[in-house]
Structure 1
Amino acid sequence: MPFLTLSDGNSLFYKDWGNITGPPVVFSHGWPLQSDAWDNQMFFLGQNGYRTIAHDRRGHGRSSQPWTGNDMDTYADDLQQLFVHLGLTNATMVGHSTGGGEVVRYLGRHGTSRVDKAVLVGAIPPSLGAIPSNPDGVPLAVYKQQQQDFIDNRAQQAVDTANGPFFGFDRPDHNRSEGLVEQYVQQVLQGGFVNQYECLTALFLTDFTEDLKKMDIPTLLIHGDDDQLAPIDSTARKAAQILPNPTLNVYPGGDHGLPATHLHQVNQDLLDFIRGTGEGGGEGEDCPSTW
């Protein structure tokens, strides 16, 4: 399994699949998961001639579990080291949830010289929490409760999240998948405790507004209008108003875990956008749900 030794001595696990000479697509996963959450998209795009790359964020999955550096700036700098290590250029970056924040911070911090396009799926920018720049965000009392639940029983929090709002299994029209629940919990429990705990602060309280303004590349936002964890009105719809060149693709009834629950639709939307057949500006027509 490939690992990159970072400048601070920590190890970053990554996958490098598909056509090694094909256009690169770089995936960033959500909290508190790992790169395996993107396997279906990586396989699909790999079959279509692309080079697909995904890493386990520091402190998550198989990467090192350092006591420090669990913040968006460091996540972005780790990703830049991976770009340099693999010599990636003309890439498409894809981020889900917290990974969407990682993509936006990377582009705000390191620029777009290596990146042609970006895709944000159920992503947290401009901010998830109700901070001064986005007072309509998720109340900070929810953040505090998430922290406490994590400390009290991380495993039970993972079970409850997977059975409830992450995949929308608490909605009557969503058919629960035991496999998705088990996969989610397994990924959570492989990560570092302190790393996931501190990542909660990063994902709730980071302001990505200025990063979004610097993204001078076509950006596709894919978001469910029933996303209970990153509500669309305070995330994707606001981000689309800030981004220079956005397309907002809304999935009616869509939940937070779209890469799993709507995988075929997400796969096709990614392929169309990367190929250049799904670009545009502003908010597009709502997509029919595959659920």
Structure 2
Amino acid sequence: MEYFITVESGVRVFVQDLNPMGKKTILFIHGWPLSHKQYEYQFNILPSMNIRCIGMDWRGFGNSDKPFVGYNFDRLADDIRVIIETLKLKDITLAGHSAGGAVAIRYIARHQGYGVSKLVLIDAQSPGSVPQQDANMFISGTLTDRPKMLAGLTDLFFFKHITAPFTEWFFQIGLQGAGWSTAAVMVTLRDENVRGDLGQIHVPTLIIHGLHDKVVPFANAEETHKLISNSVLVPFHYSSHVPFLDERDYFNRLLMQFVE
């Protein structure tokens, strides 16, 4: 099932809902600058394991509406709240990747974990911000030559070799976003952080992180693990920033075990 949910006046967010009758539910939050399509290799498998998989596109990305404003952590977290309320979701696992992990953390803290019983952080941008120099480079690249900036992400995001067609698929996901939203989220990642939110997370939390992550160093995951009391950290030894693609089979097994 696919539908649009209005999260505020004039702004609709795209939602893909697979296996609505599944025993367990995972709401997937994508990373910057991607969309729900990044989880294709989870959506291919998990619904057949009696798991309901819901993917949403942030405002400004994928199939969602692309307003010029609304790209701070609070607003993005509020969009998740509307999705959870509209779909009447309860006892779900919230899974966030990279910047989506930061948004998931903010959601738990800001909305007292409404509807969520478990949390999965995948190479999450936590606890600190994206370093200013790196963020400014991404912002400048976005505003001057976004296709070139996006093309360069594959070298940062992947540890394993990927084919040219797979690289093109990944590149096209990034192109679906708007330039202004791509830059605006990176400004948020530079200027905000979720360090103060971590002490408010009390649900069981699985932290998955690639040992070779060039975007969010593994040391960040170790610090996040220390700051979330009820958490488990699992290093992915053959992954960089996208373990759900680099080590998809292991990732899927681990996620299924945690959800159950």
Q: Give your verdict on TM over 0.5.
A: yes
Per-residue Cα deviation, 1:24-79 (whole angstroms, up to 9, x for no partner):
11000010000011122133221111111010100001101101101111110001
Equivalent residue for 1:42?
Answer: 43
Q: Which residue of 1 aligns with 2:149?
A: 157
Q: Does 1:228 align with 2:214?
A: yes
Structure 1 residue 121, shift from structure 2 partner: 0.7
Distance 2:8 2:145 in 1: 33
> Secondary structure of 2:54's match?
strand
Tell me what 1:255 maps to.
Answer: 240
| Counterpart-to-counterpart distance in 2, 1:160 and 1:5 | 33
User: How many correspondences in the alignment?
Assistant: 259
Cα deviation 1:222-242 (Å, max 9, x = unaligned):
001110011111x21110010
What's the counterpart of residue 88 of structure 2? 87
Where structure 2 has 5 or more consecutive residues not aligned to the other structure, the ranges are none
Which residue is 2:158 aligned to? 167
C-alpha displacement at 1:21, in angstroms?
A: 4.8
In structure 1, the residue matched to 2:174 is: 188
Which structure 1 residue ranges, 5 or more long, are not aligned?
130-138, 169-173, 276-291
1:104-183 matched pairs, under 5 angstroms:
104-129=105-130, 139-162=131-154, 164-168=155-159, 174-183=160-169
2:259 aligns to what SS in structure 1? helix
Q: Distance in 2 between matches of 1:21 and 1:94?
A: 17
Cα deviation, residue 203, structure 1: 2.2
Q: Determine the structure 1 residue equivalent to 2:250.
A: 265
Q: CA deviation at 1:8?
A: 2.5
Q: What root-mean-square deviation, in Å, do the aligned CA atoms of Structure 1 and Structure 2 show? A: 1.3
Task: Quote the Cα distance in structure 2 between the aligned partners of 1:175 and 1:24.
Answer: 32
Deviation at 1:19, TM superposition (A): 4.1
Q: CA deviation at 1:175?
A: 2.1
Paired with 1:47 and 1:128, the residues of 2 have a C-alpha distance of 37
- Kindly provide the CA deviation profile for residues 77-132 of structure 1, in whole angstroms up to 9, marking residues without a partner as x: 00100000000000001111111111101101111241110001111111232xxx
Give 4+ residue runs of structure 1 displaced > 3 Å after superposition: none
Q: Distance in 1 between matches of 2:66 and 2:114?
A: 30
Alpha-carbon distance in 1 for matches of 2:68, 2:112: 28
In 2, distance between residues paired with 1:76 and 1:120?
15
The answer on 1:240 being equivalent to 2:208 is no
Contact 1:18 1:43 in 2 (8 A): no
Match of 1:97 in 2: 98
Q: Contact between 1:225 and 1:232, CA under 8 Å: does it hold in 2? A: yes
Which structure is higher in helix share?
2
Secondary structure (helix, strand or coil) at the match of 1:210 reads helix
Of 161, 169, 184, 1:198 maps to: 184
> Secondary structure of 1:244's match?
coil
Query: Compared with structure 1, are the counterparts of its residues 248 and 123 closer, same or farther at alpha carbon in structure 2 (3 Å cutoff)?
Result: same
Taking structure 2 as the reference length, the TM-score comes to 0.96
Aligned pairs for 1:10-49 within 5 A: 10-49=11-50
**Amino acid corresponding to residue 243 of structure 2 in structure 1:** L
Q: Tell me the distance in 2 between the aligned counterparts of 1:252 and 1:205.
A: 30
- Tell me the TM-score normalized by structure 1: 0.86
Give SS of 2:202's match. coil
Q: In 2, Cα distance between the equivalents of 1:115 and 1:155?
A: 36
Aligned partners of 1:76 and 1:103 also within 8 Å: yes
Q: SS at 2:13's partner residue?
A: strand
Alignment-mate amino acid for residue 60 of structure 1? F
The residue type paired with residue 37 of structure 1 is Q
Structure 1 SS opposite 2:44: helix
- Give the secondary-structure state (helix, strand or coil) at the position aligned to 2:142: helix
Question: What is the rounded CA distance, in whole Å, between the counterparts of 1:243 and 1:271 in structure 2?
Answer: 21
